[in-house]
């Protein structure tokens, strides 16, 4: 396999992870796959001001449909690793083993509920109790700028904050490379880089491979 990007312990492959995974072996998988909910995010001007939220940004943008999200997601190809964290597991939980250590990401961070989801959930096969992280990320209102381009736009419709992916990585007990088979704009890879851990990303859409590679090539990042 020819890497799309490779530097300082971080590697990106462009292609279908179901094919590339046949040639890879890893103990830890942390990823945010397509949920199979036929999502097509439509941006709109936010009616909520940011006066009650510090260090946030607003966004209104239309996004194309995410590849692979137009059919039910089957997580079978991801479950063999010793450590697995799958964001969106509540959308395909009937195809996952029972688990106690779910991760709940509180996206309100103390704010009131509205028509957006209050939280997102990740299924894991980790040992221990359920875990919670609070980080404001409510549609067009987002805390920090560590995951956002200079223009203020997200780089992927379902982009995760680096802070959330670092939280996941810090739950890992292994020391080898972490694999993100649906790496999108590269948040897991950036989190691994900041923590000094090797990582491998796979992405089927080349435009996101390029975005992730450019983010990783930057020497200075803004942190939340």
Q: Which domains does the chain show, CATH number per domain?
A: 5-41+54-217 (3.40.50.150)
The rounded percent of the chain whose pLDDT value lies above 90 is 65
Q: How many angstroms separate the CA atoms of 53 and 62, rounded?
A: 24
Cα distances from 146 to residues 97, 141, 199, in angstroms, run 34, 14, 19
- Please name the residue that has the structure tokens 């998988």: 29
- Read off the pLDDT of each residue in 84-91 and give the average, rounded to a whole number: 97
This prediction's pTM: 0.85
- Over 80: is that where the pLDDT of 20 sits? yes
Per-chain mean pLDDT for the chain: 85
**Which of 32-46, 50-64, 194-208 holds the top average pLDDT?**
194-208
Tens-place pLDDT, residues 121-161: 999 999 999 999 999 988 777 877 665 555 567 787 788 99
Instruction: Give the pLDDT of residue 52.
Output: 43
Instruction: Give the pLDDT of residue 220.
Output: 45
Query: Within the chain, what is the greatest distance between any pair of CA atoms?
Result: 50
For residue 199, the surrounding DSSP H or E stretch is: strand 199-203
Q: Which two tokens stand for residue 100?
A: 């106690």
The upper half-sphere exposure of residue 56, i.e. CA atoms within 13 Å in the direction of its Cβ, equals 22
**Which of 101-115, 141-155, 166-180 holds the top average pLDDT?**
166-180
Sort strands 103-106 and 119-124 into parallel, antiparallel or unpaired: antiparallel
- Over 80: is that where the pLDDT of 193 sits? yes
* CB-based contacts of 103, cutoff 8 Å, min separation 6: 85, 121, 122, 124, 130, 131, 132, 133, 167, 168, 171
């Amino acid at each position: 396999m020819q890497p799309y990007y490779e530097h300082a312990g971080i590697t990106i492959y462009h292609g279908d992870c179901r094919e590339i995974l046949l040639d890879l072996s890893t103990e830890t998988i942390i990823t945010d796959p397509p949920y199979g909910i036929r999502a097509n995010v439509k941006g709109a001007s936010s009616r909520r001001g940011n006066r009650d939220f510090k260090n946030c940004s607003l966004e209104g943008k239309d996004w194309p449909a995410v590849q692979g999200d137009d059919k039910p997601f089957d997580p079978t190809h991801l479950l063999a690793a010793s450590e697995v964290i799958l964001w969106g597991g509540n959308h395909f939980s009937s195809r996952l083993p029972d688990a106690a250590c779910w991760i709940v990401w509180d996206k309100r961070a103390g704010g009131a509920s509205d028509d957006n989801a209050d939280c997102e959930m990740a299924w894991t096969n980790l040992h221990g109790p359920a875990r919670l992280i609070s980080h404001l990320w409510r549609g067009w209102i987002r805390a920090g700028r560590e995951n956002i381009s200079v223009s203020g736009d997200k780089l992927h419709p379902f982009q995760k904050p680096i802070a959330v992916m670092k939280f996941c990585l810090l739950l890992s007990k292994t020391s080898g490379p972490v694999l993100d088979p649906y790496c999108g704009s590269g948040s897991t890879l950036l989190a691994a880089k900041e923590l000094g851990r090797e990582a491998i990303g796979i992405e089927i859409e080349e435009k996101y491979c390029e975005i992730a590679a450019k983010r990783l090539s930057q020497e200075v990042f803004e942190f939340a």
